[in-house]
Amino acid sequence: MVGGRISRLSVRDVRFPTSLGGHGSDAMVSADSRVPSDWSFSCLSPVVLSTLSDVMVRFQIAHVCVVWVGTFSLQHTDPDYSVAYVVLETDAEDGLRGHGITFTLGKGTEVVVCAVNALAHHVLNKDLEDIVGDFRGFYRQLTSDGQLRWIGPEKGVVHLATAAILNAVWDLWAKQEGKPLWKLLVDMDARTLLSCIDFRYITDVLTEEEAYEILQRGQVGKKEREEQMLTHGYPAYTTSCAWLGYSDDTLKQLCTEALEGGWTRFKVKVGADLQDDIRRCQLIRNMIGPEKTLMMDANQRWDVPEAVEWMAKLAEFKPLWIEEPTSPDDILGHATISKCHNRVMFKQLLQAKALQFLQIDSCRLGSVNENLSVLLMAKKFEIPVCPHAGGVGLCELVQHLILFDFISVSASLTNRMCEYVDHLHEHFTYPVTIKNASYMPPKEAGYSTEMKEESVKKHQYPDGEIWKKLLTAQGN
Amino acid sequence: MVGGRISRLSVRDVRFPTSLGGHGSDAMVSADSRVPSDWSFSCLSPVVLSTLSDVMVRFQIAHVCVVWVGTFSLQHTDPDYSVAYVVLETDAEDGLRGHGITFTLGKGTEVVVCAVNALAHHVLNKDLEDIVGDFRGFYRQLTSDGQLRWIGPEKGVVHLATAAILNAVWDLWAKQEGKPLWKLLVDMDARTLLSCIDFRYITDVLTEEEAYEILQRGQVGKKEREEQMLTHGYPAYTTSCAWLGYSDDTLKQLCTEALEGGWTRFKVKVGADLQDDIRRCQLIRNMIGPEKTLMMDANQRWDVPEAVEWMAKLAEFKPLWIEEPTSPDDILGHATISKCHNRVMFKQLLQAKALQFLQIDSCRLGSVNENLSVLLMAKKFEIPVCPHAGGVGLCELVQHLILFDFISVSASLTNRMCEYVDHLHEHFTYPVTIKNASYMPPKEAGYSTEMKEESVKKHQYPDGEIWKKLLTAQGN
């Protein structure tokens, strides 16, 4: 079914001026803020790995969550939700295109666009059949380019660019097969699926043979689980109610609406001001009652000692998890919460038993390929996967991955749910469908990555209509 | 002494066509190579942390080295040594300029240039006095820009760009003070020096007060150590003899010359082909004799199980260390060798006792500011620092940091040496001076980052004379 040679790659800088409404605001210090002068803390035991765990237990925080890549956690008070938007064209007669995005926060999107262009020669003039026929090799090409690897590797700008390109390749492949991406993965034979994964640097934790056995075991009951998903969908939680920038009134109103809409799981942003956090957590816990699920996200705001102090104070509101109290690179610094950028970081979090939940991201990891390796490692360690979503299009993409995970890998919904944020779906050709607080499996062919051309044109930076107006207004 | 407002920032893409000569070649698979089909290994204990250590002991490898950021280890067979070259101008009458570089491998330099431009607004129109007067705050501004942080944070392209800008700021500051950078640091009072460091995310291992005490202890004998450096210089080792791309004859010739030049410490690149490595290591060990120091660098070529197997075979040549057997992100995967991108990664390597040596890099870490925090942490854990150098200008820059380290922090030369590679120094206004295999302290004001304008013009990509010729030739 797969055919055509990639004849064109275009990439555009598309930004939504979300900073105007306070959506997506969280606790990270704004660039223009000063560093607090009292920014140092008494030092706890260097083996904080156990310290934070102890605090969890002491204050009855049931779980600590490791956010696996992505989330809003790198945000500040002024994000403009954006994407680098890649479109692949082929010389095939079907006229199908591959659409790929990676999510960014406004400024810097042009840097990712520049990196996509730097990587473009790896995909141009290649036959799609050759790419997906040796997808591991192609992945390695993109991530191990002799000269470009230096400015990564497999992290930051270059990895975001890799994700955008590969997301477009997967979209194109699924479209050519006439299937939504999740279904393409579910129907794919195990050996082909594994041939998409680069096992380099993770064979000490997961070999290809082990992964094969996991997929074989996942065959049992697969058809029933697919039916279950088509009928009931995949459970979701909402982050839309409680951004830091919202007033208490807005928070109350959104929370009321969410409860009426059947939502039972809520996430609140914390970390900027302790007294403020206590008031807001109290407010939301009172509204949702003691039984419903509450999660917290500190977006890397704290040092380790500060995290311990703060979390102790918020424990009374019974959070299921607290995401990202500190640096995304700190694996040992907390048996807790980290944000990672590739499978190697994730592997260590599993090895260090540093996580109780795992969040995948569809645009920060190296597309479907790298997410597959993470899903399989999570299964080996029996860690529930609760994907990160929101931003621009992250809900659209990650639903495919979590559906595949349930149907073919984890076979479990225990302690599992997928983040949902009710923003910007209207710009997508095939937006997500939520029913009874669940993601309903998409039926259209592809990876749901395609955006409405009109939206793209309007929001292109800096020449789209929206930005021309805003920048002109700013100039006056 | 400090004055002037930053009135202009220019950044240029400067590339040297080193790929034509095989300089800098190492074991990383080239982008155009295929992934070996037998790329999987039997799985060792998941707790490889101890496994690799055991192997070291068993095979009498004295030490395992953690490369701290940088090195040639991300290279392949085709690096074009390059820099993003930043020049800062002020409105002060002294006419002094700040020059800053970050090192890259050719392709992708334009992405770093793009990121420098994205960060430029943080430095433009600022008074130098305000910048260095609250250098911690300024560092935090650059690394925590509300929107740009997403595409890092503190890693990859954005961090390289941050380094280039901050290196230029330090050069300017030192020039205004009329001192070489190492002397500026050595003479700086402890509180001012510490106010340059962002302690965020490392306070669980090093507080500002602990750092202060380290610096106070470093006062003892400082003057004598400065004299010692001015007379004898800082010990160096050479990597110029044994790149993977060199023939045995070239290797022999360069090694003979190096021995005649008084060199006693040598590093060899390994990891592409075991039999080839054995032959080359045998050759070089025979030439230098059993007493001189030999180090090896595998440049991330291996998975953990493969590293164990390979290192066992090379142990007979008595390497002092083997750099980077596997992924730069893998802290737990080997109690061994990793390449990191910021102080948070480094902190964990110290906590995990995963290193016996430490290599700093002047262009991958966030300039002098972040290197200071790493030097202080290394002192706390009593880990010898052996800087990475080579590339373009890395020798010129890092000599300042290691001189400061010896004079004011470590006060020791035991097991310490600084890498030296004899390439591309001729393009710098103030190139390094090597005497008796030692770095002689630079005397000119600044950070030795200034390049000859003629070299820059000639090598600008793609419009400089050199590249115009090469690209035209390629076109034909």
Local confidence band at B370 (pLDDT 50, 70, 90 cut-offs): very high
Q: Tell whether the model's pLDDT for residue A199 goes beyond 90.
A: yes
ipTM of the complex, rounded to two decimals: 0.82
Q: Does residue B232 register a pLDDT over 50?
A: yes
Euclidean distance between CA atoms B50 and A421, whole angstroms: 43
Least confident of A79-83, B60-64, B92-96, B373-377: B60-64
Q: Residue A426: CA atoms inside 13 Å, Cβ hemisphere, count?
A: 5
Phi, psi of B396 (to 5 degrees): -60, -45
- Angstroms from A85 CA to nearest CA on chain B: 15
Q: How many residues does chain B have?
A: 476
Whether the CB of B95 is below 8 Å from some CB of chain A: the reply is: no
Q: How many CB atoms lie within 10 A of CB A258?
A: 21
Per-residue pLDDT, A77? 53
Residue A135: pLDDT band (50, 70, 90) is: very high
- Cβ-in-10-Å burial (0-12, 13-18, 19+) of B89 comes to middle
d(CA B167, CA B369): 9
- Cα separation, B16 vs B86, in Å, equals 17
pLDDT at B26 over 80: no
CB contact under 8 A, A149 and B303: no
Q: What is the pLDDT of residues B169-200, one digit of tens each?
A: 999 999 999 999 999 999 999 999 999 999 98
Give me the pLDDT at residue B115, please: 97
**Mean pLDDT across B213-222:** 97
Higher-confidence position of B210 and A73? B210
Mean per-residue pLDDT of chain B:
84
- Does the pLDDT at position B315 exceed 70? yes
Q: Which of the pair, A335 or B403, is modelled with greater confidence?
A: B403
| Amino acid A338: pLDDT | 41
Using a CB–CB cutoff of 8 Å, tell me whether A408 touches chain B: no
Look up residue A414 and give its two tokens.
């225990």
Q: Which two tokens stand for residue A197?
A: 């994964």
pLDDT tops 60 at residue A343: yes
Residues 10-39, chain B: which have Cβ within 8 Å of A?
A: 28-32, 34-35, 39
Kindly write down the DSSP assignment for every residue of A10-31, as one continuous string.
Answer: EEEEEE--GGGTTTT--SSPPT
* Closest of A156, A134, A68 to residue A357, by C-alpha: A68
Residue among A35, A303, A331 minimizing CB distance to B137 = A35
Lowest-pLDDT range of A51-65, A219-233, B142-156, B225-239? A51-65
* Strand-pair partners of A104: A82
CB contact under 8 A, B114 and A118: no
From the list A402, A100, A123, the residue with the least C-alpha distance to A237 is A402
Mean pLDDT for chain A overall: 84
Reported pTM: 0.85
DSSP category for residue A117: H
pLDDT in the model for residue B352: 62
Q: Is the pLDDT of residue A91 over 70?
A: yes
Q: Do B303 and A348 touch (CB under 8 A)?
A: no
Rounded to a whole number, what is the distance in Å from the CA of B319 to chain A's nearest CA? Answer: 23
Confidence band for B300, pLDDT divided at 50, 70 and 90:
confident
pLDDT reading at A52 higher than 50: no
DSSP state of B180: B
Query: What residues in B contact A105, CB-CB < 8 Å?
Result: 146-151
Active site residue B232: no
| Other C-beta atoms lying within 10 Å of the C-beta of residue B330 | 27
Beta carbons within 8 Å of A83's beta carbon, 6+ residues apart: A14, A101, A102, A103, A104, A109, A164, A392, A393, A451
Contact B295, B417 (CB under 8 A): no
- Using CA atoms, how far apart are residues B362 and B393, in angstroms rounded to an integer? 9
What percentage of chain A has pLDDT greater than the value 90? Answer: 63
Of A388, A400, A427, A459, the active-site residue reads: A388
Q: Which of residues 290-349 of B touch A (CB under 8 A)?
A: 303-305, 326-333, 341-342, 344-345, 347-348
Given pLDDT bands bounded at 50, 70 and 90, which one contains residue A321? confident
